[in-house]
Amino acid sequence: MVLPGAATLTLRRGEILGIAGLLGAGRTRLLRAIFGLEPVKRGRVRIGAYSGSSGPHHRWRQGMGMLSEDRAGEGLALGLSVADNMTLTRLEPLGPAFTVVPSRQQAAAERWIDRLGIRCAHPRQTIGELSGGNQQKVAVARLLHHDVDVLVLDEPTRGIDVASKAHIYKLIDEMVAQQKGVLLVSSYLPELLGVCDRIAVMSRGRLGPARPVEEWTEHSLLMEASGARAAS
């Protein structure tokens, strides 16, 4: 991916690439531009054979899915059911000619409910009635149902309990083992250092080069994010 600000960021299959930075550094805006939610003013995004600007609908079709940091406002449709939220980006397997066969949708939802350990009364339960951790698992299940190759995750474990965090880490590891690529933004530095293969730091709207996780510490990440350089 070639991104605004003359920075080049390459995400490989089977890799977790993390982006660190302070609040307001532009990390979320970068992810939104990659996914087509905001315009790319300069540069280009390339996904496999696809290159250039695309909206979210096309990104889904190209094999990219995004998990938004704003779960309630943007990431989920809180008035819809668990099943609807899981399947709404990929309805083709659920019925012919753009129709949804309820039994097929329920079976698909039950599969992910069982696999992710989502606590809900049934697939038709309104997702707004679930806990934050279970809502986040539903958002992750949507990516799994869609079978995306590139997962763009913005603060995937913010505001959820420890058990749900551990479950999401396990799912991320499983997806990487399937040779999917994960682009991860997190404000929790131990999370980045614990799960990522490489980390790049964003500071004041500019993205630095990605380096192997072994070359970073919490201190050096903070120094880089603040625009200073850690002492050698």
Whether the pLDDT of residue 73 is over 90: the answer is no
Q: What is the pLDDT of residue 2?
A: 42
151 by DSSP, 3-state: which?
A: strand
End-to-end Cα spacing for the chain:
31
112 — pLDDT class (breaks 50, 70, 90): very high
3 — pLDDT class (breaks 50, 70, 90): very low
Q: What is the pLDDT of residue 208?
A: 92
Question: What distance in Å separates the CA atoms of residue 48 and residue 31, rounded to the nearest whole number?
Answer: 17
Kindly state the average pLDDT of the residues 46-56.
Answer: 76
CA-CA-CA-CA dihedral for 197, 45, 29, 90, to nearest 10: -90
Could you give the domains of the chain? 2-225 (3.40.50.300)
Whether the pLDDT of residue 69 is over 50: the answer is yes
41 — pLDDT class (breaks 50, 70, 90): confident
Residue 3, number of CB atoms within 10 A of its CB:
17
* Long-range contacts, 203-210 (Cβ 8 Å, 24+): 203/21, 203/22, 203/25, 203/227, 204/25, 204/26, 205/5, 205/25, 205/26, 206/5, 206/7, 207/3, 207/5, 207/7, 207/9, 207/19, 207/30, 208/7, 209/7, 210/9, 210/10, 210/17
Share of the chain above pLDDT 70, in %: 94
Question: What distance in Å separates the CA atoms of residue 159 and residue 95, rounded to the nearest whole number?
Answer: 36
Q: What is the pLDDT of residue 232?
A: 42
Kindly state the average pLDDT of the residues 40-57.
Answer: 77
Higher pLDDT, 228 or 207: 207
Higher pLDDT, 5 or 100: 100
